[in-house]
A and B are shown apart, each in its own frame.
Chain A
């Protein structure tokens, strides 16, 4: 009889042991370093497939009969602890590459005990074929990144709206700046963004190192700035002055600013058939003291006639409100001058259009944004229906910061809701930016096909995002909770699985964009020559 020397090399670890098509499980040494969010590959040499999975949880486990063994250890010394003590790893399948190199959705399980390995950059070659054209960062795996694996959102999917869900300080301004700057060389669609604090245009004023998109002004014509700022600011940054004319106004815009009674709403309905300029002027020049329409002597008798049945007090309220709107927007709300045409033209030239509104109130920001959004949507609707042009001739995306203000359930602003529900047909997409997705109407969330999820600490916010996204994010809850500043999970239709992304740092990335724009210019010159 001979003694059989049993192998003490650990062969159980890093081998797939379960569980199902939708969840993988394997074990690793108890002291191995692995992070939630790490992407691993499972090499199934029997089937010839390479599966990919993302780590969703790590659990201390052991083979010991007593599950509470670790609550009563008596010293810090352990002999060969790794024999029976290990980390259980839960992972969510991302899909697999078949023998032809085609990436497929997870529809089968890897063979039991298939090897689990860390992928190298070449393993993600298949991703480069499905990545889009608007680069925003590099692929993240746990704590590290694959710097060679660029994450880029496909421009084609953006008419189906994009949502950016992030709490304060999680890097959403940086993401937007990177996104906008990457759109410039691509120029597949126009983007409108109202910047009430100057963060996007000139950088965070509280941070000396912060840069804005104005830095790209001299490198490209793919960006346009309109501002309510003073002349010094306009000249310094080569911006055009923003004007919105009375004609651009709709009496319905009052609803953005005020809670209206039913009588006041009746008046709005009544006045909607008149030119907004006439309505504004009527209220500016009429005294309603002892209101008698038959004795009205101004130039808007038709309006006066339609308001004959209303009380003096109601009309006084309406007058006060209209006057407040006009006066509080006086920096850009003008009787005759309007930038709307130029803005829409710039958008149709697929430019990034930034509306710079420094020192303006939140109401002014929404006022400008709602008017511009309405004008854009109506323009597109007319183009499609009126002149027989095909839908999608122009693609425009409208960014809404703090979108819960205008897209909450029950009190959504009509124009934004319309853009969300019908905009896609007319080439108008929304970029919904919010730190409170739970306060966005779920019907609107359901219309969004591209989710950019940054740190969300509130469970209700995470739940609504995870259940609304087109790809299943529910198993990435731990990762979403532990996302670091500047990291995002991007889920969009063309990329086969949600990608953890380390978003480029705009202040570094801007030089790359400048280089791209420069080389494109040179190519244009050569072609011209």
Chain B
């Protein structure tokens, strides 16, 4: 068995191979990009910008049954001033021992007034959580579109790439409703998992290429689908990918997605607004309405704890002894953590 030092060295080598020192040259060679593929953005007045984000938190986990809480939030800004925040109630989802998730169809129906059509497998809890969270985000996005005026920008946390078939028509509907009202929509990813070539990360490659071409932020570049490796469920991918550095002090560029049918002029308009709402001194380079929505929707530890307490209270009223509750739900790690 290899020692600790060797293990670390292996990890370092693996990660180092992902970001070779000439990554930008490799990317330029593969993509054939030049300086003219980068577009400079001039930040303009923002008008109305809405940011939608969702969150989930693990409430109880007994191994055979897990309960998670979800909610989504929209934060609506006009010229850097928040006009309002809208929030879904906290929704719960059990991931049980059954093959399919029983709560998802109920939630889907509650959100969109119809059945999902496709069942959601419980096999991958991470995916279940992701789909449920997206469901709430799309619901909030559709609701928000009803209130937005022409020319507004709707920002959604994540990607226009669903992870479950049932959400594909929902994205279609979202695009349709936005087009109907001449509202721009854009998906912004907090963490970009897109790779190119033999699995090299996209963001550092593009950033280093921009540096090589002496690009001054804010800028953006469109990413051709052909450059991307390891694509999952391409049939559910609805957006074009862009990498953009929205502020000169931004720590990193962002991956954003826009509907595929947006022309260059419209893309520029969206990028200008994105840059204009990404100048907050705390998180330069990230759209503030999304940050605001994120902070409002995050189910923090104290909220999760409150939920747990209310559940225990309700169960006690139903005659279930706390001892039994603990026997099922309490993780021995909680005890370990006392020491």
Give A residues with C-beta under 8 Å from B.
Answer: 1, 3-6, 8, 69, 73-80
Contacts and interface: CB of A to CB of B under 8 A. Distances in A.
7 contacts: A3-B86, A4-B88, A74-B282, A75-B247, A77-B80, A78-B281, A80-B292
B138 to A, nearest CB: 12
A35 to B, nearest CB: 27
Given A3-B143, A4-B89, A79 B288 contact: yes
B82 to A, nearest CB: 5
B191 interface: no
Nearest to A77: B279
Contacts of A74: 247, 249, 281-282, 284
Ranked 7 nearest A-B pairs via Cβ:
A74-B249, A3-B86, A73-B281, A79-B288, A75-B281, A74-B284, A6-B85
B2 interface: no
Contacts of B200: none
Interface string B303-321: 0000000000000000000
B88 A79 contact: no
A3 B143 CA distance: 8
A73 B282 CA distance: 5
B296 interface: yes
Given A6-B296, A74-B247, A77-B280, A1 B139 contact: yes
Contacts of B256: none
Nearest to A79: B288
Contacts of A5: 84-87
Given A74-B284, A77-B279, A79-B288, A1 B82 contact: no
Contact of B282 (A3, A4, A8, A78): A78
B118 interface: no
Contacts of B277: 79
A75 B284 contact: yes
Nearest to A80: B82
Nearest to B250: A74
B284 A6 contact: no
Interface string B260-294: 00000000000000000101111010001000100
Given A1-B89, A5-B85, A6-B85, A78 B143 contact: no
A449 B292 CA distance: 56
B84 A79 contact: no
B281 A3 contact: no
A79 B74 CA distance: 16
A3 B284 contact: no
Given A6-B86, A6-B296, A8-B82, A75 B143 contact: no
A67 B176 CA distance: 44
A73 B280 CA distance: 9
A398 to B, nearest CB: 62
B242 to A, nearest CB: 22
B82 A79 contact: yes
Given A75-B249, A77-B279, A77-B280, A1 B84 contact: no
B324 to A, nearest CB: 33
A74 B284 CA distance: 7
Contacts, number: 61
B105 to A, nearest CB: 14
B289 to A, nearest CB: 8
B154 interface: no
B86 A1 contact: no
A76 B247 CA distance: 13
Contacts of A6: 84-87, 296
Contacts of B85: 5-6, 8
A400 to B, nearest CB: 57
Contacts of B279: 75, 77
Contacts of B22: none
Contacts of A4: 86-89
Contacts of B280: 75, 77-79
A79 to B, nearest CB: 4
A80 B292 CA distance: 9
B110 interface: yes
Contact of A69 (B77, B139, B282): B282
B26 interface: no
A75 B82 CA distance: 19
Contacts of A76: 281
A79 B49 CA distance: 13
A79 B88 CA distance: 23
Given A8-B84, A74-B249, A75-B249, A3 B296 contact: no
A1 B110 contact: yes
A73 B87 CA distance: 29
Contacts of B284: 74-75
B134 to A, nearest CB: 15
B214 interface: no
A3 B74 contact: yes
A12 to B, nearest CB: 15
B152 interface: no
B119 to A, nearest CB: 21
A8 B77 CA distance: 12
Nearest to A73: B281
A493 B89 CA distance: 58
Nearest to B289: A79
B81 interface: yes
B82 A77 contact: no
Nearest to B276: A77
A410 to B, nearest CB: 59
Contacts of B282: 69, 73-74, 78
A4 B136 CA distance: 13
B81 A80 contact: yes
Given A1-B111, A79-B288, 17 more contacts: A1-B88, A1-B89, A1-B110, A3-B140, A4-B86, A4-B88, A6-B84, A6-B87, A8-B84, A69-B282, A73-B281, A75-B247, A75-B281, A75-B284, A76-B281, A79-B82, A80-B292
A79 B86 contact: no
Contacts of B89: 1, 4
A3 B288 contact: no
A4 B72 CA distance: 11
A388 B74 CA distance: 88
Contacts of A1: 88-89, 110-111, 139
A288 to B, nearest CB: 87
A69 B281 CA distance: 10
Interface in B110-129: 110-111
A72 to B, nearest CB: 9
A382 B28 CA distance: 109
Nearest to B284: A74
A77 B283 CA distance: 10
